[in-house]
A and B are shown apart, each in its own frame.
Chain A
């Protein structure tokens, strides 16, 4: 059993942060790696990239958006409650090296995934520009934590309620234009955002890492559910990734496979909401 020792609701309760007791994982985890969690005996195995770890206290930090039955179930877990299973660290760690100037771009809960990578790059002695974005101010997460690991932090909101009004790609482009010597971009967020970022960095010929979140089952390379096309080749995100060269990723295929179980997910979520009594903030 893996106990939750700290819990926060972010972005008006749509995003949840948990610090979970998992000493073995905390001791081993490196930036870019993920864990698989299961709430209870009937639960799905949900992969989430770690936002942070505290090896001394034996804790890992996960930050997730509530989007369906499983994450809604996770949300019901309070401090003192436990996940039945936490498996990890899984996936390949980010290859961190000194490049000189780097830019880290995060959108939505992608910022959580981006955070330890940004810190790792900063610790290697890179000059780090960071761009984080959300639909509006209330939905933006981890501003302070990203500020602490960046040399320069830029904020974008779609509706202009905070920072630059517009997409993260605006600031990405602006920064690449200003600093022609940026050698690496790390862009993590929703698929359309990562695709848009890659289109920008391609123009400037800047090597770009993205972290992919396909549907997974075992997370150890055994089932092939998380197969993605990278450079025309089939790769398994759970063992070959989750990070890949963004300029090589087939985002169309990824997007399509992410929609595999939309009808089933709706059935499952509706049933859960009915059983819980409707208490989410979707307004319906």
Chain B
């Protein structure tokens, strides 16, 4: 191309906005917030990808999806090709398209994002998966010939499902054990319907079953069967049981009626469908004034659930400031739009309640930020004499989870760190116990869906090597 005959400058396409339910509508229902791209919107957004020769987005993805590859296929209108491309690396595209923190992964590294908004990788992934589920033919990716090897996957959350999806395609026999009565782990009990519809979790699990995985629910490994017993029947065992032991604030009054861990609050609402009580049998306290303690994604989920359960006020009480909040920007933004009220630099001191045990309020102290602590965030320091009371009838404690000892305690040979998490090689997922791998929150402590899926990918590669070559 010569200087004189410069190609006409291509008109820049702006990032296609995801259509969403309006905040004032959605705060009263449990339907999904984003409505999804139409094929036209998706193809237009896909055009924005410049198909870098050396894409930066792929290394940003914990499971290394061929991002330019699947986006190119969407651009060409080959939606089936796009989902096949996604499945090559990701067994859970409909989930990841919704809950991954793309802004710090693929999209955060997108070249377009340097001057403009990055390509909407997450929205496109969601589109490809949803299109396949709703309109696609019943296609499945190709499977390797059976190897005769058997793998037990303990836990059906994102780590376990990824391991299962990878190994079934490689020809191994995969048996998933789930402690609850439905598969999906945190995708089922933790993430609310409005962020991840349960029909989608069911469809992703169903896809694995169609590929040939067996999913056994109500199987509490550690109680109903031990890992050592599994090792008698299986060639390899993967442990992806999640963190799953809620932390409380250790302040007076946590026994009052109306005080929940976020795990309980969300499990009641999501898994047991308490939001539809008494049509469903499990109740939940429908508070008028709800305070959620914590600043992560789970706290946002809890505060937004409270609104949908009919709260007039849903507060987030967080002892640091907005900048230190670990929740995704998008989640904070959604919560704000819906009317969640944020109380920053505020720490709870004790819960208050009636004589018969009903929660009536929480006494708090104001904080100011001091020197940075070990996490690099400025440490909040209390301001003496700043006590005040927030009237609440429901409290949701969302300050993280510890390692659940149910499985690890019953498994001799596993090495744990001082927090009770399983010690596993980050490059392979191998634990110190032969033929046992682990990944996800039970190794790292509470983290994200995609990091768990990434750990699952690492482990599945190592398990495949072991089953194929013996190492």
Contacts and interface: CB of A to CB of B under 8 A. Distances in A.
Nearest to B245: A221
B281 A88 contact: no
Contact of B405 (A234, A239, A268): A239
B267 A88 contact: no
Contacts of B285: 260-261
Contacts of B404: 220-222, 239
B179 interface: yes
A90 B257 CA distance: 25
21 contacts: A24-B224, A28-B224, A42-B273, A43-B281, A44-B281, A84-B181, A85-B218, A86-B218, A218-B267, A221-B404, A221-B406, A222-B404, A223-B263, A223-B264, A224-B264, A225-B261, A225-B264, A259-B257, A259-B356, A260-B257, A271-B278
B257 A87 contact: no
Contacts of B263: 222-224
Q: What's the dominant secondary structure at chain B's contact region?
A: loop
A70 interface: yes
Contacts of A43: 281
B469 interface: no
Nearest to B186: A222
Most buried by B among A28, A86, A261, A264: A264
Interface of B: 179-181, 189, 217-218, 220, 223-225, 242, 244-246, 248, 250, 254-255, 257, 260-261, 263-264, 267-268, 272-273, 277-283, 285, 356-357, 404-406
Nearest to A2: B218
Nearest to A268: B278
A264 B357 contact: no
Interface residues of A, number: 41
B378 to A, nearest CB: 30
Contacts of A90: 220, 223
A70 B281 contact: yes
Given A42-B273, A218-B179, 9 more contacts: A45-B181, A218-B180, A220-B244, A220-B406, A221-B244, A221-B404, A222-B242, A260-B257, A264-B278
A7 interface: no
Contacts of A25: 224
B254 A222 contact: no
A135 to B, nearest CB: 25
Interface in A190-227: 217-218, 220-225, 227
Interface in A171-198: none
A116 interface: no
Contacts of B217: 85
A44 B257 contact: no
B246 A220 contact: no
Contact of A87 (B220, B248, B264, B278): B220
A89 B221 CA distance: 10
A260 B257 CA distance: 5
Contacts of B255: 227, 229, 253, 256-257
Interface of A: 24-25, 28, 38, 42-45, 69-70, 73, 84-90, 217-218, 220-225, 227, 229, 234, 239, 253, 256-257, 259-261, 264-265, 267-268, 271
Contact of B281 (A42, A257, A259): A42
Contacts, number: 114
A87 B283 contact: no
A264 B284 CA distance: 8
Contacts of B257: 256-257, 259-260
Most buried by A among B179, B273, B281: B281
B465 to A, nearest CB: 32
B281 A69 contact: yes
A88 B179 CA distance: 9
Most buried by B among A28, A224, A264: A224
Nearest to B265: A223
Contacts of B278: 264, 267-268, 271
A217 B267 contact: yes
Closest 3 CB pairs of A and B: A264-B283, A256-B357, A223-B264
Nearest to B243: A222
Contacts of B281: 42-44, 69-70, 73, 268
Contacts of A234: 248, 250, 254
Contact of A224 (B246, B273, B277): B246
A46 to B, nearest CB: 9
Contacts of B224: 24-25, 28, 87-89
Given A221-B244, A222-B404, A257 B254 contact: no
Contacts of B180: 218
B261 A264 contact: no
A70 B272 CA distance: 14
Contact of B246 (A45, A222, A260): A222
A229 B217 CA distance: 31
Contacts of B248: 224, 227, 234
Contacts of A253: 255
A260 B404 CA distance: 25
A268 B278 CA distance: 6
Most buried by B among A86, A225, A271: A225
Contacts of B223: 28, 88-90, 220
A254 to B, nearest CB: 9
A3 B220 CA distance: 20
A224 B273 CA distance: 18
Most buried by B among A69, A221, A257: A221
Most buried by B among A90, A220, A227, A265: A220
